[in-house]
Amino acid sequence: MSQVPSVDHPFARARFDFAAPLPRAEELGSVHFLGIGGAGMSGVARIMLARGVPVSGSDAKDVPVLKALASEGARVWVGFEESHQEGAQTIVMSSSIRDDNVELRAARARGARVLHRSQGLGSLMHGQRRVAVAGANGKTTTTSLLTVALQGCGLDPSFAVGGELARHGTNAHRGADDIFVVEADESDGSFIVYRPEIAIVTNVQPDHLDFYGSFAVVQAAYEALVATIQPGGLLVTCADDAGSRALAERATARGTRVLTYGFRPDADVALGDHRQDGLTSGATVLDEGVRRLLTLGIPGRHNALNAVAAYTAAVHGLGQQPDHVLAGLASFTGTRRRFEPKGEAAGVVVVDDYAHNAGKVAAVVETASQLVERPGRLIVVFQPHLYSRTRDFAVELGRGLAPADVVIVMDVYAAREDPVPGVSGELVADAVRRTGRGSEVHYVPSWSQVPSVVAQLARAGDLVLTVGAGDVTMIGPEVLRLLSAEPR
């Protein structure tokens, strides 16, 4: 952008010029990543390594992916020191890296090129048919479903996903074909970088208000994304979501080709007859007057929507055969931390999910509640993510959790934020109580106490669902260990 955005511009708070031209991969030189262990960052690093780009990186924590990246040829460090970035021509950083980071300050002082994660990924996409998947909810699963569907058609697309595909054991891959599927993160406005041929928008909802400030600015950001679709390209939107539907109407009025999907009968690609059988599900797909069967190895009405979004993009955007696409979707085995079974002990099943905003939480709790065989109960362990989100959406999070029989709320996982006075997980626990649904509610601020509280409450036939984007994912295995050790 050539001018400083006004205060109501969607990217007024951005630290990067996301509209600037991107360098090509061969122009990057050696690349050093700040926060290389993150889900998105590690994926970009993997593809650069596959392209032959020299890669190094630092991360605050010794996460398992660092060892994997080192085995693939990267030099990695735990902790940030000025010397780590020396010699790198390009720095790639995540939004969580603060401006006072010692490596970032040193790199800027010597004049190194500094790119946001999305810009680093975009530099790898020149000459590719790009598909960007955006939305408040469902984008990781939709990106993964589309990738597997294309593989089912005999293609080898490149992909970068915010989660690990269970079947492949990786979050990114450099493919042999000219299709690149990317999960486009809306949290910081960076999703306008990719300039896709096809954009999928699963939903437009008020989230990341710590960056955007208001829902109106969120909506403007998605408008900016649509404006980056290549001439003659395609926008795929969910007819069931009001925000996505409004975006489609405005895009159509401006001449963008739009196809909608959903359970609404007026959707261009319409779903019907949804059914669920344990951890599998299915529905019918009505497309251009032909009814076909969609079968999935994952549960949930929301995942049927994600699958038909992938179907629409693959068939109507990339020209693949419907039956081949559906066969690929049927082979999908899930994404790590998306309703991922962790195990069973003493008759108690434990499942983990990354859901962290109100819409995602409501969808995963609804899905889990349908799987419980009574008199078994649904026990949800929820870790709020970000102080700002907890403050702004405690009521909505409480409503999403309320269908559970037992709700255990942990304290807030701060991530990139500093604590906010008066904001804690207790706000969400109180919101659940106020719904009047009768859930048994516990607020347990001490992380170390949560597994024992869950193990004491759980009994044979219960389903324990751990939910959140932070370290709540470590609770499930500890619960299983305690249950295995206790006489039941």
What are 312-329's pLDDT values in tens digits? 999 999 999 999 999 999
**pLDDT band at 354; cut points 50, 70, 90:** confident
Relative to beta strand 378-382, strand 348-353 is: unpaired
H/E element, 444 = none
| Mean pLDDT rounded to a whole number for the chain | 89
C-beta separation of 473 from 450 below 8 A? no
**pLDDT band at 7; cut points 50, 70, 90:** very low
When the candidates are 3.90.1300.10, 3.30.420.40, 3.40.50.720, 3.40.50.2000, the CATH number that belongs to 25-122 is 3.40.50.720
Q: Tell me the domain boundaries of the chain.
A: 25-122, 129-330, 340-485
Helix, strand, coil in percent for the chain, rounding step 5: 35, 25, 40
Does position 335 have pLDDT exceeding 70, yes or no? no
Lowest-pLDDT range, 166-170, 209-213, 251-255, 475-479?
Answer: 166-170
Three-state secondary-structure class, residue 341: strand
Taking CB atoms within 8 Å and a gap of at least 24, the contacts of 477-482 are 477/342, 477/343, 478/451, 479/345, 479/348, 479/350, 479/451, 479/454, 479/455, 480/342, 480/343, 480/344, 480/345, 480/350, 481/345, 481/451, 482/451, 482/452, 482/455
Active site residue 183: yes
**pLDDT score at 356:** 80
C-beta separation of 81 from 103 below 8 A? yes
State pLDDT tens for residues 475-488: 988 999 999 975 54
* Cis amide bond preceding 54, omega within 30: no
Tokens representing residue 196 in the block: 């896709």
Q: Which residues contact 248 (CB under 8 A, 6 or more apart)?
A: 235, 237, 239, 258, 260
pLDDT (mean) for 247-257: 95
| pTM listed for this prediction | 0.73
H/E element, 400 = helix 387-401
C-beta separation of 100 from 107 below 8 A? no
Annotated active-site residue in 140, 142, 312, 390: 140
The span from the CA of 292 to the CA of 216, in Å, is: 38
Active site residue 26: no
Percent of the chain residues past pLDDT 90, beyond the cut: 61
Does position 6 have pLDDT exceeding 50, yes or no? no
Active site residue 140: yes
State pLDDT tens for residues 40-95: 888 899 999 999 999 999 998 888 889 989 999 999 999 999 999 999 999 999 88
Does position 470 have pLDDT exceeding 90, yes or no? no
Q: At what angle do helices 215-227 and 242-253 cross, to 10 degrees?
A: 40
**pLDDT band at 5; cut points 50, 70, 90:** very low
**pLDDT score at 187:** 83
Would you say the CATH fold of 129-330 matches that of 25-122?
no
- Please, what CATH class does the domain formed by 340-485 belong to? alpha beta
**In CATH, what number does 129-330 get?**
3.40.1190.10
**pLDDT score at 4:** 40
Annotated active-site residue in 90, 103, 139, 340: 139
State pLDDT tens for residues 263-312: 999 999 999 999 887 778 899 999 999 999 999 988 888 889 999 999 99
- Residue 275 phi, psi (nearest 5): -145, 155
Does position 258 have pLDDT exceeding 90, yes or no? yes
C-beta separation of 399 from 431 below 8 A? yes
Please tell me what DSSP assigns to residue 414: -
The span from the CA of 244 to the CA of 246, in Å, is: 5
**pLDDT band at 339; cut points 50, 70, 90:** confident
The span from the CA of 125 to the CA of 139, in Å, is: 19
Annotated active-site residue in 103, 164, 183, 197: 183
